[in-house]
Amino acid sequence: MGTAQLTAVPEPKYWHLRTVLLRAIDSEFATGEVIPNERDLSARFGVARATLRQALDQLELEGRLVRRRGIGTLVAAPRVGVPVSRREEGWPGGGPEQSWQTVDCAIAPATEQLAAALNVPVGETVYTVRRVRLNQGQTVATESLHVPDSALASLPEIRSAGSGADEGRAVLRRLERLTVDGESRAVELGVAEADEAALLQRPPGTPVLVVTTQFASGGKLAALAVATYRADTCRLTFGETGLVEVTPVAGTVRTAS
């Protein structure tokens, strides 16, 4: 593959403006600072308001700008590195470093789709525990943890005093006893559905990173976690060794060389 292709795709106007704006933001404004309003910006850069708005939308999507009603458009804080690993899943749960909070628990027969995903018969009882993950006081993720009754059956019973969050915590305490042999993960781009968006306190359709984790026990799938992380504020970190820490790499390094 030659490099002749490099100029084959034309650069849209808003995209050029986005790159120019990004450079201006990096050099002239600090995190949390309010940038000039749309009228001033379109005058300064000599562009139509529609083009400017498209560039600002883009930078908001990239997590570089935040719009606050009644305040204006602010330079966003850098994304927070959020470790993704079993240690971080919060089973056992409890302890001061605990970052997951249990919201509720639904107990229902497996639908066709869920049965296929969990590899259990349609109609088997499935516990779905919903949790939110907090990072520095902000909700960064929401998760649905699906556990089929057959996986829980071998574990000591823990009676829940009430329902909802109590029931969910009882399921998580039972899972503490599960011997997890392995897990595999997938990450993809998604959008927050209405209920996820509500828990993330964002509008539906907000871009999220969907992390699907399968937990195996005794060679069988024992639990399936589907977590949605806010894509505007989070970078997911996977440290496979303790040797090197991933330090934030500014987006501009990608084009720096």
Residues numbered 164 to 223 that lie near a second copy (CB under 8 A) are: 164-165, 181-191, 193-199, 201-205, 207, 209-210, 212, 214, 216, 219, 221
Q: What's the CA gap between 217 and 93, in Å, rounded?
A: 19
Query: Based on CB atoms, which residue is closest to a second copy, 42 or 217?
Result: 217
Which of 102, 100, 120 lies closest to 110 in space, CA to CA? 120
We find the least distance from the C-beta atom of residue 56 to a second copy, in angstroms, to be 13
Query: Based on CB atoms, which residue is closest to a second copy, 20 or 34?
Result: 20
Of 15, 45, 74, 149, the one binding a second copy by CB under 8 A: 15
Helix (H/G/I), strand (E/B), else coil: 155: coil
We find the least distance from the C-beta atom of residue 96 to a second copy, in angstroms, to be 18
Query: Based on CB atoms, which residue is closest to a second copy, 30 or 156?
Result: 30
Query: Based on CB atoms, which residue is closest to a second copy, 144 or 150?
Result: 144
Residue 120 identity:
V
Q: What's the CA gap between 200 and 195, in Å, rounded?
A: 9
Q: Which of residues 57-86 bind a second copy (CB under 8 A)?
A: 58, 61-63, 79, 81
Q: Is 228 in the site for a second copy (CB under 8 A)?
A: yes
Q: Which of residues 19-48 bind a second copy (CB under 8 A)?
A: none
Q: Which residue has the tokens 């690993």?
A: 85
Q: What's the CA gap between 167 and 105, in Å, rounded?
A: 6
Q: Is 51 in the site for a second copy (CB under 8 A)?
A: no
We find the least distance from the C-beta atom of residue 48 to a second copy, in angstroms, to be 18
Which of 75, 76, 95, 79 lies closest to 87 in space, CA to CA? 95
Ramachandran quadrant class, 201 (left: phi over 0; alpha: psi -120 to 50; beta: rest): left
Strand partners, 102: 131
Query: Based on CB atoms, which residue is closest to a second copy, 136 or 247?
Result: 247
Q: What's the CA gap between 212 and 241, in Å, rounded?
A: 22
Per CB under 8 A, the segment of 7-15, 69-77, 148-156, 166-174 that binds a second copy is 7-15
Beta 138-148 vs 125-135: how paired, if at all? Answer: antiparallel
Number of residues interacting with a second copy: please give it, by CB under 8 A.
94
Strand partners, 104: 130
Of 30, 71, 161, 243, the one binding a second copy by CB under 8 A: 243
Q: Is 132 in the site for a second copy (CB under 8 A)?
A: yes
Ramachandran quadrant class, 95 (left: phi over 0; alpha: psi -120 to 50; beta: rest): left
Of 13, 53, 173, 235, the one binding a second copy by CB under 8 A: 235
Q: Is 136 in the site for a second copy (CB under 8 A)?
A: no
Query: Based on CB atoms, which residue is closest to a second copy, 156 or 245?
Result: 245
Which of 236, 176, 184 lies closest to 208 in space, CA to CA? 236
